[in-house]
Structures are given as C-alpha cells and as structure tokens.
Amino acid sequence: MIITDIIMPRKEGIGTIMELRVDYPDLKIIAISGGGRVVPNDYLDIAEKLGAHSTLSKPFDRKLLIDTINKLLA
C-alpha cells in the first residue's frame, strides 16, 4: 500500500499513481489532497480515474485514514 499526496514539489501524485499502476498493478493506493489552484475533489476525481483505490481530502480525521487503510487491506 502507498499513500501519496497529489501536489508535491518534485513529482506530482498523478504521475506517481500512473507509474505505480503500470509497475505494480495490485498495489493499493490512497491519494490525498488539500487542493491548490483548484478544489481538492478535482484532483481526487482524476486520481480515482487513474487507479487510486481511495481518496481523502485534507484535512481529514486520523480515524478516517485508519479505517480506509484497514478496509483496503482486508
């Protein structure tokens, strides 16, 4: 499992998700975003379409993150 932010300084999370889907097709991916120039849901919708199994909009509750991880690993 990997948890990746969408907006990062060196490499965007969208590109990371696309690469991981090719190299590790069974890897569970959680994408997170607090937005940027657009609302976080726009980025998160794209992340899901590209293969993220779950998305979380920042700020999010710690319990939600733990529940999401447990659900994907079950």
Is-contact 17 50, C-beta < 8 A? Answer: yes
Q: What is the pLDDT of residue 42?
A: 82
Give me the residue spans of the domains in the chain. Answer: 2-60
Look at residue 74 in the predicted model and tell me its pLDDT: 93
Question: Class of 2-60 per CATH?
Answer: alpha beta
Query: Tens of pLDDT along 11-68?
Result: 888 999 999 999 999 999 999 998 655 555 688 999 999 999 999 998 999 999 999 9
pLDDT of residue 10: 86
Residue 73 in contact with residue 1, Cβ under 8 Å? yes
- Looking at residues 1-5, what average pLDDT do you find? 95
In this prediction, residue 26 carries a pLDDT of 94
